[in-house]
Amino acid sequence: MSQYPAASADGPDGTWTPSSLNRRIRDDLADLTGLSVRGEISNLRYQSSGHVYFELKDASSRVRATIWRSTAARMALRLRDGMAVICTGSVDVWVAGGTYSLIVNRIEESGLGAMWLALQQLKAELREEGLFDEARKRPLPFLPQTVGIVTSSSGAALRDMLRILQDRFPVRVVLAPAKVQGDGAAESIARAIEALDTSGLCDVVIVGRGGGSIEDLWAFNEVRVVRAVAACRTPIVSAVGHETDTLLSDYAADRRAPTPTAAAEMVVPERDKLHAGIKDALWRIRQVIGRQVGHERRHLLAARQRLGRGDTLLGHRAMGLDELERRLGHAARRGVERARRSLNTGREALQASHPMRRLARQRRALIEFSARLRGVRGRIAVDRRTETERLTGLLRAYDPRSALRRGYGIVRDADSGLALRSTREAHTGQRLDVLLAEGALDCTVEGLRPALSDGPDSLRADGS
């Protein structure tokens, strides 16, 4: 490998600074012009300045690419992530950052990229299954009490959504944290959606994340996520911060928001606007009633002029007008009162559903349940103690040792150890063991007698 001469360095001791080294590398790469590089576009960004930035990648590597505004203005080809292209240009080094990129002056499509082709095939299959049908999509609830969110618990997207929800109309939020990019992200997102849906806690669900490259967002193209979104019984909003139209979760969701912030604005109305709408409706009611009364009054005056001095008829019309005015006023007051009651009912419902009130009710229910549990546990303990004493008495009553202590004995064959219950089981000369309460007797049968009678004198101390 060649060595740069010390004279090329800008330091007095022959050393390089980062700036001089990067400039030297840029000068050495200046001859790399007219290069044609084939790859797939990734992380495509159109800047407001008119410049276009992206990466060219293959299976194992990638390189930065830049199209300056003057070149981009002449291009007819519409670029997109996943497109397979051939870029022709030169290599340039950004001295300040120490990075290099391919400066593209010509670009042509070389066929669909593998990633793009696979995505389009999957999109067609899912569309054929009906997962993207508009007929499946449900409207979002007008005023949800609980909003479920599936996103990273540490991302800026979550903070933005919580801030918007708090500012517009404070509601209860249930978070199902999920990994939103990298290995295992699709499974994590799908499980979080299913958990929120089956819990029955939420009126609407937001699933998404902030922006990123197509690789960062790819989990939302995975079939596991798309099917979970489509199967969600709770109305669901796909809110991935991107401008591309290729994320399949957008097509499967009931609504698509361009960013997580926009999703939060979509699912809840503004409280101030609701109040303003009610006031405006009341004002319109009064205006309509006023116009109607004015119209009737003008009609009455015109009739009076036509009739001249028809006091009686005019009096009847005047009475009718007064009655109409009274009824209209009464109807207006009823309408205003109904609107006020509806507003109060809504306010009370919101207060009743406050998490602290729910927590207090649940705490009282827990205390009552604990008291009942202690009572049941006490009764069970008494019943078990009584049953134990009863069984202990029976055990003592049936214990053979109790009979032995009362003077009885157990007669067993000395050889087999089997107990004898009748003289028919014995024979003369047989060796017996007689077990007593204390000790045992070795005996030999000398004779057999018939069974004793049942009278009280049938058993005597001498055994005769």
Give residue 14's region: left, alpha or beta (phi > 0; psi -120 to 50).
left
Give residue 52's region: left, alpha or beta (phi > 0; psi -120 to 50).
beta
- pLDDT tens digits for range 129-165: 999 999 999 999 988 999 999 999 998 999 999 999 9
- What confidence score (pLDDT) does residue 253 get? 95
C-alpha dist (Å) from residue 301 to 305, 306, 315, 320: 6, 9, 12, 13
Fold of domain 144-267? Rossmann fold (3.40.50)
Grade residue 5 by pLDDT with cuts at 50, 70 and 90.
very low
* C-alpha–C-alpha distance, residues 445 and 414, integer Å: 11
- Kindly state the average pLDDT of the residues 99-128: 83
* C-alpha–C-alpha distance, residues 198 and 195, integer Å: 5
- Phi, psi at 16, each rounded to 5°: -110, 150
77, 64 in Cβ contact below 8 A? no
Task: Please state the domain extents for the chain.
Answer: 6-112, 144-267, 271-352, 404-444
Top pLDDT among 179 and 244 is at 179
Q: Which of 217-221, 274-278, 370-374 is predicted least confidently?
A: 274-278
- pLDDT tens digits for range 42-99: 889 989 999 999 999 987 899 999 999 999 888 878 888 888 888 999 998 888 888 8
Tell me the percentage of the chain whose pLDDT exceeds 90: 32
* C-alpha–C-alpha distance, residues 458 and 213, integer Å: 107
Q: Are domains 6-112 and 144-267 of this chain identical in fold?
A: no
Fold of domain 6-112? OB fold (Dihydrolipoamide Acetyltransferase, E2P) (2.40.50)
SS3 106: strand
Grade residue 312 by pLDDT with cuts at 50, 70 and 90.
low
* C-alpha–C-alpha distance, residues 156 and 449, integer Å: 104
DSSP state of 453: P
Which residues face 38 on adjacent strands?
Answer: 86
- Measured distance between the N- and C-terminal CA atoms of the chain, rounded to whole angstroms: 126
- pLDDT tens digits for range 406-434: 788 889 998 888 888 888 888 888 899 98
- Statement: residue 7 has pLDDT above 50: no
Helical H runs in 308-354? 311-352
- What confidence score (pLDDT) does residue 463 get? 43
